[in-house]
Amino acid sequence: MSSFIKVNNLDVQYSRGRRSLFEKEEFFKAVDNVNLSINKGKIVGLVGESGSGKSTLGRALLGAKEFHHGSIHYNFEEGSIDLSNLSKKNLRDFRSKVQLIFQDPYNSLSPRMTVRDIIAEPLEALGMTKSKSETDNRVIEIAQKCQLNINHLNRFPHSFSGGQRQRISIARSLIAQPEFIVADESVAALDVSIQAGILQLLKSIQNEMGLTIMFISHDLSVISNFCDEVAVMYLGKIVEYAPKNEIFLTPKHPYTQALLNAVPSINPHKKNIQKTLEGEIPSIYDRPQGCVFQSRCSKVTDQCRQNEPSLKKFHNHEVACINLDD
């Protein structure tokens, strides 16, 4: 079976500006040579410390941030799309098939639009309905699915709680019936009990619609409950990618092990894992030669300082490390 999303050798850069007026603009890679295959209908968790490039990768997958090298290929139900080679028409089709769920339900909803208009906006922007009544029906249908009170659709967002606002965001993201969603820290701003309800809702809709989700989060216990697979990022690179249970029960990369070790409650094999994370993450402007994790790794050897490991299949994991124990 071919993957739903296939990312090959992806680099995404940002500008560092110029040192002086007379010098050239400098760039750095926030995402560096990423390879990733995502299967249809999966929820893939993306974890890693702040600044590791998670949001940048998510935005590149949505076509919201240009990339400078490599490729992103989607196998949608109605045909495949290569993001580096999009015509205007294909770009419009693509935009209807992918969506972002906003990070912050307090600031992301326009305070001057009614909830009906907020939810309807993607449909209207993409010209996907023929009449106002067709749009209204679609809004009501998705609002019900997201457990919103349809008698309150003419209200403004300020009269809703954080959890309800996140349901509005989700309804808006789903109304155009996308096939792929990036949820970037979508429940991080909510209380734990409200988070659980939102995640349950998202999972049941995901199941029903056969959605594929990239779920970006700092919260490993949320990732362990919600995701099917987990990709671990460090300094712009994916260092490990495996089914959720494999990641949590038998993490292979020293960085994954250290990340899990920092959360004892979700790590039943704590005694097998020696080290927690020490030291600072190196500057992304000054990525070391060889393995990106070398400065913090307890298993580092000279080889790690010379050769950059690529992601290799190891049991059911893909791991970028040359010192793996069985």
Ligand X SMILES: Nc1ncnc2c1ncn2[C@@H]1O[C@H](COP(=O)(O)OP(=O)(O)OP(=O)(O)O)[C@@H](O)[C@H]1O
Piece in contact with ligand X (CB under 6 A), picked from 43-51, 135-143, 163-171, 237-245: 43-51
Q: β-pairing, 212-216 with 26-38?
A: unpaired
Q: Residue 52 binds what, of Mg ion, ligand X, none (CB under 5 to 8 Å, by partner type)? A: ligand X
Interaction of residue 186 with Mg ion, rule CB under 5 A: no
Nearest-angstrom CA–CA distance, 170 and 146: 7
Closest distance to Mg ion from the beta carbon of 182 (Å):
11
Interaction of residue 50 with ligand X, rule CB under 6 A: yes
Task: Please say which residue, 54 or 165, places its beta carbon nearer to ligand X.
Answer: 54
**Among positions 55, 169, 224, 294, the unique one binding Mg ion when judged by CB under 5 A:** 55
Interaction of residue 284 with ligand X, rule CB under 6 A: yes
Q: Residue 166 binds what, of ligand X, Mg ion, none (CB under 5 to 8 Å, by partner type)? A: none
Interaction of residue 14 with ligand X, rule CB under 6 A: yes
> How many whole angstroms from its chain centre is CA 124?
26
Residues 296 to 315: which contact ligand X by CB under 6 A?
Answer: none
Q: Residue 45 binds what, of ligand X, Mg ion, none (CB under 5 to 8 Å, by partner type)? A: none
H helix intervals, the chain: 54-61, 88-97, 115-125, 132-145, 162-174, 192-209, 220-226, 244-249, 254-261, 302-306
Nearest to 238 by CA among 224, 260, 253: 253
Interaction of residue 56 with ligand X, rule CB under 6 A: yes
Contacts of 276 (CB under 8 A, 6+ apart): 258, 261, 262
Closest distance to Mg ion from the beta carbon of 236 (Å):
13
Closest distance to ligand X from the beta carbon of 55 (Å):
3
Closest distance to ligand X from the beta carbon of 28 (Å):
8
**Among positions 36, 42, 54, 174, the unique one binding ligand X when judged by CB under 6 A:** 54
Nearest-angstrom CA–CA distance, 100 and 81: 18
Interaction of residue 25 with ligand X, rule CB under 6 A: no
* DSSP-assigned letter for residue 287: P
**Among positions 53, 157, 251, 290, the unique one binding ligand X when judged by CB under 6 A:** 53
HEC states along 28-51? Answer: EEEEEEEEEEECCCCEEEEECCCC
